[in-house]
Amino acid sequence: MYEKSYISNTISGSEGQRRVFYIAFLATMAIFLAIAEHMVPKPLPWMRIGLANAITLYAFTILRPKEVLLVVVSRTVAASLLIGSFLSVTFILSFTGALSSFAVMCLLYIFFRRWFGLVGMSVVGAVTSNMVQLAVVNAVFVQSSLSYYFVPILLGFALVGGILSGLFGRFLAENL
């Protein structure tokens, strides 16, 4: 017959309702942080700390990977709709960066949790996001190797942003 979907299996029972609440709540918090960070003036348009990533890190500690992915996709799509950048270059870069970062952090959380804490996961996720975004810019938009001169700058921002957002994510995991 007809097989229940992942969502309907998740919702059944009080535990399922609690998980759906966590997904919605964490997605809302991540959307809020993404929009707030978008509104803060930056020296360069693409520079940001990535505070919404702290919510993703915290989500790994209380949700299943599929559910964390729902939080990440919800955050990226909803924030871009509210900011007015949906389906723009900014959205494409944000979405590819978020998905690649999620994939790497998920692998680290599942297989290397003993060696990588939330701060380490955050730094690796930030580096991955920046490098994938640079590759997309180079492959689709710029098509020049000159864009790779930005690698040291991007790695520096990924390190700082990854540490800050990782510390915030660890704070959430320890105190909520």
160 token code pair: 């700082």
Residues of the chain with pLDDT under 70: 1-13, 43-46
- Cα radius of gyration (the chain): 17
DSSP 86: T
pLDDT of 45: 63
**Angstrom distance (rounded) from CA 7 to CA 176:** 25
pTM: 0.84
pLDDT for the residue 2? 45
Cβ neighbourhood burial of 16 (10 Å; 0-12, 13-18, 19+): middle
Q: Tokens standing for 89?
A: 């270059």
Q: Which domains does the chain have, with CATH numbers?
A: 13-175 (1.10.1760.20)
